[in-house]
A and B are shown apart, each in its own frame.
Chain A
Amino acid sequence: GAVVSQHPSRVICKSGTSVKIECRSLDFQATTMFWYRQFPKQSLMLMATSNEGSKATYEQGVEKDKFLINHASLTLSTLTVTSAHPEDSSFYICSATSGGPYYEQYFGPGTRLTVT
């Protein structure tokens, strides 16, 4: 299957700082990328959908000013958690797809964020 990388895989930061997570599609052009968050023993929660070159579409309840998403190219999307707080500690996963509804999406390995 297609390869999606995510960096960093793990990050620990202090409360009030910002953290940037990168998601890259390595062997295909990702027209759409998705950002998810997953708390322990809970299901994936879609945070936002981003299409290359346009503003991200955020799910209800997700603050766009806190979770900044940039999809600058067909292979790179970034999620910046601004002014992180301990309750933002979670597993953040991106996924990417190259086409429409019949195309599979491939997930990055995830980033485990811990805010102290």
Chain B
Amino acid sequence: RKEVEQDPGPFNVPEGATVAFNCTYSNSASQSFFWYRQDCRKEPKLLMSVYSSGNEDGRFTAQLNRASQYISLLIRDSKLSDSATYLCVVKGGSYIPTFGRGTSLIVHP
């Protein structure tokens, strides 16, 4: 089993739709979790950290489920500009992050 797994997609959704991605991780000792966004031929950019209590930033909501070892990202009211690859990142006690392969989102008019 891979350390961090994501459905590669692509998820094809119309503008205005709500879409959710999950990311599962295998190391139960993982301590911190992040979502990054990567546009084509660009570097990843931090979207949000994921806290135990869940957190929201505008149209984006991230949640952590330690019991089932997954994190989720919910995007409401999708915009064309949300089209990108969303990367899940998990860290254990060391500094070294483990990246998922990413989930591709395509928002169409």
In the complex, whether B46 has a CB less than 8 A from a CB of chain A is yes
- Smallest distance from the beta carbon of B44 to chain A beta carbons, Å? 5
Q: What is the interface residue range for chain B against chain A?
A: 20 to 34
Given contacts A43-B102, A44-B87, A106-B46, A100 and B95 within 8 Å (CB-CB): yes
- A43's partner among B42, B49, B101 (CB-CB below 8 A) is B101
The residue in B41, B44, B49, B87 that gathers the most chain A C-beta atoms within 10 A of its C-beta is B44
B99 touches A109 (CB 8 A): no
In the complex, whether A101 has a CB less than 8 A from a CB of chain B is yes
Interface residues of B in 52-109 (CB under 8 A from A): 87, 91-97, 99-102
Binding site for A on B (CB under 8 A): 31-32, 34, 41-46, 49, 87, 91-97, 99-102
Binding site for B on A (CB under 8 A): 1, 31-32, 34, 43-44, 46, 49, 91, 93, 95, 97, 100-102, 104-110, 112
